[in-house]
Every structure is written in structure tokens, then in C-alpha cells.
Amino acid sequence: MATSMFATILTVCRKELVDHLRDKRTATMIVLLSIAMGPIVLFGFAQFISSIEKKAEAREVFVMGKENAPQLVNFFARQDVTIKDPKPDFRDLIKTGKHDPVLVIPKDFSEKFLTGNADVELVYDDTRQDSGNVSIGVLRRLMRGFNAEVTNQRLIARGVSPQIAKVVEVRDVNMGTPAQRAAQLLFMIPFITLIVCVTGCTAVAIDMTAGERERGSMEPLLMNPVDRGALVTGKWMAVGIYGIGVVALTLIGFAITLKFLPMPKLETVMSITWLQFAGFGVTMLSFAPAMGALQMLIATYGRTFKEAQTYVSYLITAVSMLPALTIFAQLKDATWQLFVPMLGQLMVITRILRGDPVDATHFLIPFAINAAITVVAIVTISKLLTKEKIIFGRA
């Protein structure tokens, strides 16, 4: 009746896979988190981008008091810009993000224009991160153009070359490749997929540890003459397979959405290749199982599913916060980040998306860290399963 460790691992893994495939809770999580995630996020994102581009293209601006400045209106018209009247209470509306920026022309504009000290007001709210920012840019550019034109005319009228007013001419040369700009916009794909690496197997990891304790099946399970390390390894393998499966589904969801959803505006920015997707896959192949092992370890301390859920949510919060840290701290890519779970993965995937070079260390260091996390977690859980407090401690 001697069983090899390998046989034990397989038996446990197979049982957990079957058991959890039948779990509606797990199934719902998988469907919600992975399959629907790609389409929802990308579709929303596409809407956002095309609304920005539409505004930039439409060249519609809101001007208050256009009757006070026929010169300006004439200039706008020549630039193919349509002038629209703002709503009377636009100042309040701008504050709540319900109105685009407005150019306000005072009544005495024409008078002052002749003496050369006219002014206009640009009303906007720079704390709002919406598409209104595009309109500010358009209005600013128009006003610069108008100023330049009038200045030139006045200089010529006085017999001076307009060149004299242009000490230095600035020409824009943007070195960012479209791929880099796309990476900035697409940071959500790696971020969401990495979060899915953690949350995708949470329910399964908790059920196999705290759940087993809660339903009182841990004690009889440990009465079997099997190695506890093998028992935990079998459970971990099942968690890992679920984790990888959910991540794969998420990536496939993104891929299908990118390929088939009619989003012409995004085609240029969102041209992720299959090779890039493969790069994501490799990066997450070890991350998801490692996060599964870590969650199993944390959940082992929970006497009930609920209790374990609370503990695990601390980890999920921490992992979700890390990427925000890179934004606030303005981190540049550095080797040390590869040693930090989540940061390392995020860095590698962002590099892949940006088209920056990626070498073996970018994959090997995070892999080694993930392997270490997994081994430590499995060994610790196996030890915990000999502790009376863990085996018998029931809520």
C-alpha cells in the first residue's frame, strides 16, 4: 500500500481540479474576471480614445462674446474652426466636468486690441482628467496663431521684418515611437492581467486550505499515510493550473477583442503581436502559481473561508498598490525591480509592449524569485499542517 510522493501529488491535484471545476463560485470568477475582462476594458478604452480624437478633429471651440472680436472670429473661420456658444452657466458646469473649456472675450476687446493690450480669458479646470484637456490645447494653439499673425502684420506695417520677432524657432520632433505611446495607453492590459494572476486563483486557494479546515475535512485527510509536502504540492499544482488557465483566458480575451472588435481608431496604437502575447504568457507562467502558493499559505491561517478571504485581501491590495508606487515614485526601469514580485513582471511586460529590448535576465530573475516564493510557501504550509492549532482550530 506504499504510495509514492508522485502518485500522491497526482491524486490530490486531480481531485482538486475536478472538485473545483464543479464549483459555481470558481466558474463565475473565471468568467467574470477573465473572459469578459478583455472586451469590457478595451471597449471602454476605445470609446475614450475615439472621443478624444473626435474632439481634436472636430475643431469645435466654445467662445463667449464672439460679437466683441470680429478679427478673432474671422481668424477662427479661416482656420476651419467652428465657434459654438457656451451654455449660460458654463462656469459651474466646467467645475463638474460637464462643459468643455470656454474662451471668454470681454466687451472692450476691440477697443483694447487697437491699442495693443487686449486680453481674453481661458476658462477650464485642470484637475479634471477628461477629454476637455484636448480643447484647451486647441484653443491655446489658435490664440498663439492669432497673436503671431497680428504681430507679423504690425511689424510689416512698420517696415520691420517679422523674422526679428522670431529669435528661436521651435520645431517639434517627438522621438516616442507609436509603440511607446501605445504602451503608455495600454498599461492596463499588463496591469489587469497581473492582478488576474493574483485574483484568478484566490477562491480555489482559499477553499483548499481554509475551506478544508472549515468543512472539517482537513483532519481526516491528514490521517492518510501520505507525505504532507506531497499533499500540499498536489493542491498547489491544482491552484497553479487554475491560475495559469485564468490568465491564459484573460490574454485570449484581450487578443480576440483586439483582433475582432471594430475599433479603427485603435488599430494603429493597439498592434500587439502574437510574440508579445507570448512574452506576457511566459512572464506570468511562474507568477500566477507563485501568487497561488502565497495565497494558500496566507489562507491556511484562516479557520473559515471568510476569515481567509480577509487575510488574502491584504495581499491583493498590496499587490495592486505596487504599480501605483512606480507611477508616484517615477521609477525608471532598474534591475532591482526584477527582484520584486509584481514590479518585475510589470516592468518586463511594459518593456515588451514598448518594444524595448528584453533579455534572458528579464525572465530568469522573476522566475527564480517566483520559484523561491513557491518552495517557501509549500514547505511552510506542510509544517503548519502538523500544528494542532491549524488542524483542529475550527471556528
Partner 1 sequence: MIEVRDLKKQFGEVKAVDGVSFTAQSGAITGLLGPNGAGKTTTIRMIGTLIAIDSGKIKIGNVDVAADPDGARRACGLLTDSRGLYTRMTARENIRYYADLRGIDPARSEKTLARFVEWLDMKDILDRRTEGFSQGERMKVAITRALIHEPGTVILDEPTNGLDVMSTRALRDLIKRLKAEGQTVMFSSHVMQEVAALCDEIVIIAHGRVTAQGTTQQLLEMSGRDNLEDAFVVLAGIPDEQREAA
Q: Does 384 bind partner 1 (CB under 8 A)?
A: no
Question: Is 393 one of the binding residues for partner 1 (CB under 8 A)?
Answer: no
Residue with smaller CB distance to partner 1, 190 or 211: 211
Cβ contact 134:55 at 8 Å: yes
Rounded distance between C-alpha atoms, residue 57 and residue 269, angstroms:
17
Binding mask 11-40 for partner 1 (x = CB under 8 A): xx--x--xxx-xx-----------------
Distances (CA, A) of 264 to 110, 173, 271, 352, 353: 45, 26, 11, 23, 20
Q: Smallest gap, in angstroms, from Cβ of residue 89 to partner 1?
A: 59
Q: Taking CB under 8 A as the rule, does residue 7 contact partner 1?
A: yes
In terms of C-beta density within 10 A (0-12 exposed, 13-18 middle, 19 or more buried), how is residue 5 classed? middle
Interaction of residue 74 with partner 1, rule CB under 8 A: no
Q: Where in 215-274 is the site for partner 1 (CB under 8 A)?
A: 215-220, 222-226
HSE value, Cβ hemisphere, 13 Å, CA-based, for 209: 38
Name the minimum Å distance from CB 216 to partner 1: 3
Residues in contact with partner 1, counted by CB under 8 A, come to a total of 30
- Shortest gap between Cβ of 138 and partner 1 (angstroms)? 59
The yes or no reply on residue 164 touching partner 1 (CB under 8 A) is no
Of 8, 257, 286, 337, the one binding partner 1 by CB under 8 A:
8
Cβ nearer to partner 1, comparing 25 with 112: 25
| Interaction of residue 300 with partner 1, rule CB under 8 A | no
Task: Please tell me the distance from the alpha carbon of residue 216 to that of residue 221, in angstroms, as a whole number.
Answer: 9
Q: By the 8 A CB rule, do 239 and 208 touch?
A: yes
The binding site for partner 1 (CB under 8 A) comprises 1-3, 7-8, 11-12, 15, 18-20, 22-23, 212, 215-220, 222-226, 386, 388, 391-392, 394
